Structure 1
Amino acid sequence: MTPRLSRRTFLTTAGALGAIAAGATACSTEATKRSTSNVVDFHGEHQAGITTKQQDHLHFASFDVITEDREKLQDLLKEWTEIARRMCRGELAEPGAMEDTGQAQVPDDSGEAYDLPASNLTVTVGFGPSLFDDRFGFKRVRPKELTPLPHFSGDLTRKEISNGDLCVQACADNPQVAVHAVRNLARVGAGIVAVRWSQLGFGHASATTRDQQTPRNLFGFKDGTNNIKAEDQETLDQYVWVRDADSWMDGGTYLIARRIRMLIENWDRQVLREQEGTFGREKRSGAPLGASDEFDPLPLESKDERGEPLVPLDAHSRLASPAENAGQHMLRRAYNFTDGSDGFGHLDAGLFFIAMVAAPSESFIPIQSKLAKNDRLNEYVRYESSSIFAIPPGLRDEQDYFGRTLFEARA
């Protein structure tokens, strides 16, 4: 016999069901909010995270590939693409990773970004020279520009924090979102890739769009005043994007990463005149010495009353300027970092320098060679790591994946 349902029981049950439905709607609304706020478009001609308005935080990681199975590597890059696409929408690494996991299951997401919005997360993936050995059949399609960077005068690079087969650059306006992205890519890559080294960055030390104020580095100076901006399309086409219809790199770029330790304590003992002479700019305004506005051209030919150049011949801004380097430009995406102290009471801090260029042999290498020999700033910095990666073009649609053009390339 079926028990009779009283009116009170009916109303109570209906109310409970209504609450459940309302809760489900609220959860759906919250999920929608998480997935649509502060989202950078994942698809396009170029990968996100290059000309994207520079976010406040960075987690950069280099990986060694520990399998020799080409298909496993390709499948991992496809999986990374799907996971990155979801995370950049503000979603979890795997759908339902928090709600559908049983007590005896390992969650498919580490969970620390569950309640956070996308925070303008971008995930950019690249390939190092070492990937183009005999393991995967890529040797015949290695671009001529993808060669290990030379040793520059004064470099104190450490191999354990340089190079790698793959790189992932995760940038976001929330540091936990950036860390979550790399953490989950590394998690699913276990057994196929292993983290070689990584670097956290904060307080972006470059501006990549015209509506961003030029930020300051840890020496207190505005950094990258004349950086290429996303709006400078002609300059980007000439100096940043690879233009070669016959290459799998068409629409891509080359990423150069250099960890620059700043000798903070030495710098902080220098008088203002020495500091400004080192950069060739005023510390407060960022204007070139002898000029009044940050964006005034460097007065490279001007001299003071003693006949000395207003911008010293060994000033960093002079030696790095396009006017002194045959017009060459590079797109900077640098970040400040601090990794505690070095055991001697000195801050382990500095600049994690990232540059994007179309042809390293024509731009970055000649400029850095000049800086290495003559830059007054060398007295206050140490170059501790040096890496180069090929960043393939952007993803066309939902079916595309990181590195597709490489896997489809023919010699």
Structure 2
Amino acid sequence: MGGETPGTSRRQLLGLVGAGAIGLAAGGVGGAVATAAARPDAHATGRPGAGAVPFRGTHQAGIVTPAQDRLHFAAFSMNPGATRSDLVALLKDWTAAAERLTRGEEVGDGMEPDNALLPPDDTGEATGLGPGNLTITFGFGRSLFVGRQGGDQQGGEQPSPDPDPFGLRSRLPREFEPLPSFAFDLLDDTQSGGDLCVQACADDPQIAVHAIRNLSRIAAGRAHLAWSQLGFGRTASTSRAQDTPRNLFGFKDGTANVMAEDTAGLAEHIWVGDEAPAWLRGGSYLVARKIQMTIETWDRSSLGEQERIFGRTKREGAPLTGHGEFDAPDFAAALPGSGEPVIDVAAHVRLAHPAQNRGRRMLRRGYNYVDGSNGLGQLGAGLFFISFQRSPDTFVRVQRSLQPDLLNEYIRHIGSGLWAVPGGIGPGEYVGQALFE
């Protein structure tokens, strides 16, 4: 299937554009030779290098894959009037293109059409760069099943008149409820939600952006780009072979992440099981949150205050009750004399810890971002938080626990989304095929 040309040909694309269809693009360098073994779960192990990550497998790549350094995340909305057949055709075309992209190949007929009067199938900016460990992960929004209801639409889009636009309502998982409103949310509808999401991660930004750019072009006439986000500098490790990275506040992030090597933890906390419809088993739920950081205010805070807020030391990342990064925090430890807890009752590490959340765990896969600066010379910077969990309720539980978090003084949640990520794609299948059969 990887050698198939996406179903919208160049002539069809020209016809769509002539008829006023939407064609959107983005802009956007990396790897070399394929090295990963072509076994179903090959993307679950190994360090990122200059190779190719298998697109097909038991689970979608880009979840437990060792986190790459660059991200381009995109949310798409289906066009008004798009049908179930349009959606299926789009997913087939995206699958064929994604398989080629993750091998470092050009999409369709490549960047040089036989007729120079026609636009190329591939935009060409990643040609010669190799696979770059590119992974492309697809997710389905709740609006695919129930339409865009009041408050669900983004960017000024109108609610869907049809509560079951693609004939999928009966296959909606019971757990797939919208995220509730959380304290301190300042969400921007133009950076939230979406019928479909695509997470492209790579060792190089141009490879990741090239992937989203070409998938956007392929979607023309059926779906359009609603919003997207570039990320750099991963903020979590997904393999024990990786060092723990730092966020833009300078602290190590994601120390207690569920790792690729923890198969029991993945089965319990990340992969959806028999509680869900068959099409989602072996998949997960993806939560994305755009979290703006008030960098300038943070930079004027004392080291002692910063460490009190996180409950960890800044250099080593150790809990304030320990010496090493991976030491278990002792939440019962008290300061001599005062009896006050060593780790503040509102410290981030305490409130986010599984011990405070009935053992709930998630796999974090976030990235730093900088969107420029404003007229006051303040950076538009922060964390593009991504997590995978077996049920959305895990994220809801943890986020509600963070309501008194001392860190809330320095952050603002400005974007949000939730998508169901289908299980892996087998030989000859397209992404989410079981949902439509």
Q: Does the aligned pair in 1 maintain the 2:190–2:227 contact within 8 Å?
A: yes
| Separation in structure 1 between the aligned mates of residue 343 and residue 328 of structure 2, nearest angstrom | 11
Aligned: 1:87 with 2:101: yes
Query: Secondary structure of the residue that 1:59 maps to in structure 2?
Result: strand
Aligned: 1:402 with 2:425: no
Query: Secondary structure of the residue that 1:112 maps to in structure 2?
Result: coil
| Separation in structure 2 between the aligned mates of residue 76 and residue 129 of structure 1, nearest angstrom | 18
Q: Structure 2: which amino acid aligns with 1:94?
A: G
Aligned: 1:386 with 2:416: yes
Aligned: 1:173 with 2:186: no
Cα-to-partner distance string for 1:168-220 (whole Å, 9 max, x where unaligned) = 00000010000000000000101100111100000000000001000000000
Structure 1 residue 57: Cα displacement: 0.3
Q: Which runs of 4+ in 1 moved over 4 A?
A: 32-37
| Separation in structure 2 between the aligned mates of residue 89 and residue 161 of structure 1, nearest angstrom | 30
Q: How many residues align?
A: 373
Aligned: 1:248 with 2:279: yes
* 1:4-403 equivalent positions in 2, closer than 5 A: 38-66=51-79, 67-95=81-109, 97-133=110-146, 134-244=164-274, 246-305=277-336, 306-361=338-393, 363-371=394-402, 373-397=403-427, 399-403=428-432
Which residue of structure 2 aligns with residue 8 of structure 1?
none
Q: TM-score, normalised by structure 2?
A: 0.84
Q: Does the aligned pair in 1 maintain the 2:60–2:424 contact within 8 Å?
A: yes
Query: Secondary structure of the residue that 2:351 maps to in structure 1?
Result: helix
Structure 1 residue 87: Cα displacement: 0.5
| Separation in structure 1 between the aligned mates of residue 199 and residue 243 of structure 2, nearest angstrom | 22
Instruction: Tell me: CA distance 1:144–1:344, structure 2 relative to 1, closer, same or farther (3 Å).
Output: farther
| Separation in structure 2 between the aligned mates of residue 112 and residue 303 of structure 1, nearest angstrom | 57
Which residue of structure 2 aligns with residue 5 of structure 1?
none
| Separation in structure 2 between the aligned mates of residue 255 and residue 201 of structure 1, nearest angstrom | 16
Structure 1 residue 384: Cα displacement: 0.3
Q: Structure 2: which amino acid aligns with 1:176?
A: Q
Q: Structure 2: which amino acid aligns with 1:80?
A: W
Q: Does the aligned pair in 2 maintain the 1:101–1:107 contact within 8 Å?
A: no
Structure 1: stretches of 5+ with no match in the other structure:
1-31
| Separation in structure 2 between the aligned mates of residue 204 and residue 290 of structure 1, nearest angstrom | 27
More helix by share: 1
| Separation in structure 2 between the aligned mates of residue 406 and residue 100 of structure 1, nearest angstrom | 35
Instruction: Tell me: CA distance 1:102–1:35, structure 2 relative to 1, closer, same or farther (3 Å).
Output: farther
Structure 1 residue 345: Cα displacement: 1.6
Q: Does the aligned pair in 1 maintain the 2:32–2:131 contact within 8 Å?
A: no
Q: Structure 2: which amino acid aligns with 1:337?
A: Y
Q: Does the aligned pair in 2 maintain the 1:227–1:330 contact within 8 Å?
A: yes
Q: Structure 2: which amino acid aligns with 1:341?
A: S
| Separation in structure 2 between the aligned mates of residue 34 and residue 91 of structure 1, nearest angstrom | 11
Q: Does the aligned pair in 1 maintain the 2:113–2:119 contact within 8 Å?
A: no
Instruction: Tell me: CA distance 1:45–1:326, structure 2 relative to 1, closer, same or farther (3 Å).
Output: same
Structure 1 residue 343: Cα displacement: 2.8
Structure 1 residue 43: Cα displacement: 1.2
Query: Secondary structure of the residue that 1:340 maps to in structure 2?
Result: strand
Structure 1 residue 360: Cα displacement: 1.5
Q: Structure 2: which amino acid aligns with 1:325?
A: N
Q: TM-score, normalised by structure 1?
A: 0.89
Query: Secondary structure of the residue that 2:256 maps to in structure 1?
Result: coil
Q: Structure 2: which amino acid aligns with 1:124?
A: T
Structure 1 residue 248: Cα displacement: 1.5
Query: Secondary structure of the residue that 2:278 maps to in structure 1?
Result: coil
| Separation in structure 1 between the aligned mates of residue 344 and residue 69 of structure 2, nearest angstrom | 32
| Separation in structure 2 between the aligned mates of residue 246 and residue 98 of structure 1, nearest angstrom | 40
Instruction: Tell me: CA distance 1:293–1:33, structure 2 relative to 1, closer, same or farther (3 Å).
Output: closer
Structure 1 residue 99: Cα displacement: 4.1
| Separation in structure 1 between the aligned mates of residue 253 and residue 289 of structure 2, nearest angstrom | 15
